Amino acid sequence: MAEDAVLGFLEKNEEILDSGKFSEEKGISHDEMVNAIKSLNGFGFVIAQDIKRERWVLTEEGKIYATAGSPEVQLFLAITPEGITQEELQKKLDPAIFKVGWPQAMKNKWVEKGKSNVSRKVQNVDDTVKDLLMQIQNGEAVDPKDIDGLKRRKLIAQQSWKGYSVRKGPKYAPKRIKEATDLTRENLHSGDWKNLKEYNFSAKGQPVEGKEYNFSAKGQPVEGGHLHPLLKVRRQVQMIFLQMGFEEMPTNNYVESSFWNFDALFQPQQHPARDSHDTFFLKEPSTTRELPEDYVELVKKVHESGGYGSRGYGYDWKRDEANKNLLRTHTTAVSSRMLYKLAQNKPFAPKKYYSIDRVFRNEAVDRTHLAEFHQIEGLVCDRGLSLGDLIGVLHDFFARLGMSKLRFKPAYNPYTEPSMEIFSYHEGFKKWVEVGNSGMFRPEMLLPMGLPEDVRVIAWGLSLERPTMILYGIDNIRELFGHKVDLGLIKKNPICRLGLN
Ligand code: PHE
C-alpha cells in the first residue's frame, strides 16, 4: 500500500526526493502515491512539497511519424529514382502525408518538379525528424533548436508533471492507525477496541478522547427533491387563482371523449382540429362508455339545426364521431364537463373555476411547440356578465402575473363569441407578445347544458410553458420539458418572482 511505503521509507530515510521515481521503484501508480501523500500531508504525518517538471511528449501526429517515418521521407521514398508523375505520386501516398510531405521535401531541397515529372534531387536522405521524435519518446535530451522545429510542426507538446518531495511531519508515525469513528460489535468482541486510536476508554466506559471534529469539512451536499420550474410557476399561478376566489376543477383525466372535448363546445365534427393530424385519438379503448343521453340529444340538435336563436351548422351530426376517445387537446374539455355539472344543480349558483394541467396536440415538435404541454384556464360563470367583466378580470389576473399592459385582439374560437387574443407588452423584448386567448362561451354551448338564459360564462386560457420560459430565460421549449431537460438546471434554478415585464 502506498501509505505504508511512504511511512516505512521515512522511518529510515530523511526524505523522498521525488514521488515519481519513488512510485516507480515501489511499483505503485503515481496517482495512487499522490493520493496517499496528500492524505498523509493533511493529517500531519508528512510534509509534502510540490515538484513541477515540464517535459515534451509526442502529439498524436508525432507518434505516427515516430513509427512510420516523417511525411517528407515517406514522400521521398515514394519517388522512384527515375522520376514519377505527380498524379502517380499522389496515388501512392495518403493525401495527408502528401500534403505535409511535399512542402517539407521541397524546403529541404530533396525533390524537384519538372514539366511532367517530379524527381529526386539528392541520392538519399536521413529521417532526422523521426530520430528526434524517438529520442523524445525515450526521454532523451534534445537540442532546443530541434525542439523548436518540432513544436512548430505540432509534433510535440509540453506536458507538465506534478509530484512531491516528502519528509516526516509533526505527527509522523511509522504506521498510521485509522481514527475510528465507530465502535462496532466486532471491536468489542475481539478486544481490539483498546487499540482503536480514538477509543481509549476510561474505567467508567466513557471515551476519553473522541475523534477530532473537522469543522471545515464540506459535508455531504443535501440531495433532496427538486422542483421543476413548471411546478414552481404552476404553484404561483394557483395561488393567484385562489386569492381571487377561484376553485380548482378536477383535471385528472388525460383521456377524454370527443364529445366533451369538442361537441359540447359547439365545435363542428368536420372542424380541422378534429382530424388525426391535430389530435391524438385512442386505439384502446377507442370509444367512450357513457354520455348523458338527454344532453347529447340537445347537443346534436344545436349542431344540426340550432335553436336558442341560432341556425346551427346544418350538417348530419354523428354519434360515432362524438364517442371517439382522444387525449384532451385543451383543458376547456374539463370546463365543459364542469359547466354541465353546474347546470344540473338547481337553483343556479355562480362559480369561479380554474385548472392547470396537461394537454396534448399532434404537433411537429420545434423550439416553441411540444406535443404535450400545460394549460392554465380560468372561467367565471354568473348572471349578466359582459365583455367588460372579462376584460376587467383579465386585467386583474394578468397584473398579478406581472403583466399590467394588456391589449386585446378580436379572434375566433368555435365555442366563444366574442373571442379575444390577449397581448402583453414585454419591456425586455420591447414588443407585444401573445399571452393568451379568451372569450364568452356561446349560448349554443351553455343553453343545451341547462344553464339559465341570463347566465354568461367568461373564460380564458394560456400555456404554463410560455410565462415559465420568459421567467427562466429559456428559449427552447425542449430544454424545459421532455427528455432533453438538463437535470442540473432543475437542481439549480431559483424561484422566480412573477413579473414578466
Ligand atoms: N381552449 C383555448 C385554447 O386551447 C383557450 C380558451 C379557453 C379560449 C377559454 C377561450 C376560452 O387555446
Reply yes or no on whether the pLDDT at 339 is more than 70.
yes
250-259, 314-323, 429-438: segment of lowest average pLDDT: 429-438
**pLDDT of 412:** 96
How confident is the model over 213-217, as a mean pLDDT?
A: 77
Reply yes or no on whether the pLDDT at 202 is more than 50.
no
Q: What is the CATH number of domain 230-492?
A: 3.30.930.10
Quote the CA–CA distance of 296 and 496 in Å, as a whole number.
Answer: 45
- Residue found under cell 410565462: 467
How confident is the model over 16-42, as a mean pLDDT?
A: 93
How confident is the model over 119-138, as a mean pLDDT?
A: 92
Is the peptide bond between 494 and the residue preceding it cis, with omega within 30 degrees of 0? no
437-465 exposure pattern, b = at least 16 Cβ within 10 A, e = fewer: bbbbbbbbbbbbbbbeeebbbbbbbbbbb
User: What H or E segment, with its residue span, contains residue 256?
Assistant: strand 255-257
How long a stretch of residues is the chain? 501
Residue 289 amino acid letter: R
Residue 219 neighbours by CB distance under 10 Å: 7
Quote the CA–CA distance of 401 and 433 in Å, as a whole number.
Answer: 14
Closest CA to 471 of 401, 421, 422, 370: 401
The secondary structure of 133-147 as a DSSP string is HHHHHTT----HHHH
Q: What is the pTM of this model?
A: 0.60
Q: Which of 327, 328, 413 to mutate to test the pocket of ligand 1 (most atoms within 8 A of CB)?
A: 413
pLDDT digits (tens, 9 = 90+) for 292-313: 999 999 999 999 999 999 999 9
Kindly tell me the number of DSSP H helices and DSSP E strands found in the chain: 19, 14
Q: What is the CATH number of domain 60-156?
A: 1.10.10.2330
Q: What is the sign, positive or negative, of the torsion defined by CA atoms of 85, 86, 87, 88?
A: positive
197-201, 297-301, 487-491, 495-499: segment of lowest average pLDDT: 197-201
How confident is the model over 337-349, as a mean pLDDT?
A: 96
The secondary structure of 186-210 as a DSSP string is HHHHHSGGGTSTT--B-TTS-BSSP
Quote the CA–CA distance of 123 and 155 in Å, as a whole number.
Answer: 27
Residue 461 backbone phi and psi in degrees, to 5? -145, 150
Which is more confidently placed, 82 or 429? 82
**69: Cβ below 6 Å to ligand 1?**
no
How confident is the model over 28-37, as a mean pLDDT?
A: 94
**461: Cβ below 6 Å to ligand 1?**
yes
Residue 80 neighbours by CB distance under 10 Å: 13
**pLDDT of 491:** 86
Structural domain spans, the chain: 60-156, 230-492
Quote the CA–CA distance of 131 and 138 in Å, as a whole number.
Answer: 11
How confident is the model over 124-150, as a mean pLDDT?
A: 91
**329: Cβ below 6 Å to ligand 1?**
no
**378: Cβ below 6 Å to ligand 1?**
no
219-228, 299-308, 381-390: segment of lowest average pLDDT: 219-228
Quote the CA–CA distance of 287 and 321 in Å, as a whole number.
Answer: 9
Q: Which value, in Å, is the radius of gyration of the alpha carbons in the chain?
A: 40
For residue 259 the three cell numbers come to 364529445
**pLDDT of 500:** 52
Closest CA to 57 of 159, 144, 161: 159
Q: Closest ligand 1 atom to the C-alpha of 441?
A: 11
CA distances from 23 to 29, 31, 265, 285 (A): 6, 9, 79, 69
Q: Which percentage of the chain shows pLDDT scores above 70?
A: 95
- Residue found under cell 476508554: 201
**439: Cβ below 6 Å to ligand 1?**
yes
| Three-state secondary structure readout of 60-122 | HHHHHHHHHCCHHHHHHHHCCCCCECHHHHHHHCCHHHHHHHHHHHHHCCCEEECCCCEEECC
pLDDT digits (tens, 9 = 90+) for 156-185: 999 888 999 999 999 898 888 766 777 789
Q: What is the mean pLDDT of the chain?
A: 91
**pLDDT of 501:** 47
| DSSP, res 229 | H
Contact 416, 456 (CB under 8 A): no
How confident is the model over 263-288, as a mean pLDDT?
A: 95
Quote the CA–CA distance of 237 and 226 in Å, as a whole number.
Answer: 19
**353: Cβ below 6 Å to ligand 1?**
no
pLDDT digits (tens, 9 = 90+) for 398-426: 999 888 889 999 999 999 999 999 999 88
Quote the CA–CA distance of 264 and 343 in Å, as a whole number.
Answer: 13
Ligand 1 center to residue 259 CA distance, Å? 16
Reply yes or no on whether the pLDDT at 331 is more than 70.
yes
Contact 16, 22 (CB under 8 A): yes
Q: What residues pair up with 119 in beta bridges, in sequence order?
A: 112
Reply yes or no on whether the pLDDT at 206 is more than 50.
no
**pLDDT of 207:** 47
How confident is the model over 199-217, as a mean pLDDT?
A: 56
How confident is the model over 459-479, as a mean pLDDT?
A: 90
For residue 223 the three cell numbers come to 440531495
56-65, 175-184, 366-375: segment of lowest average pLDDT: 175-184
Ligand 1 center to residue 373 CA distance, Å? 14
Reply yes or no on whether the pLDDT at 475 is more than 50.
yes
**pLDDT of 204:** 45
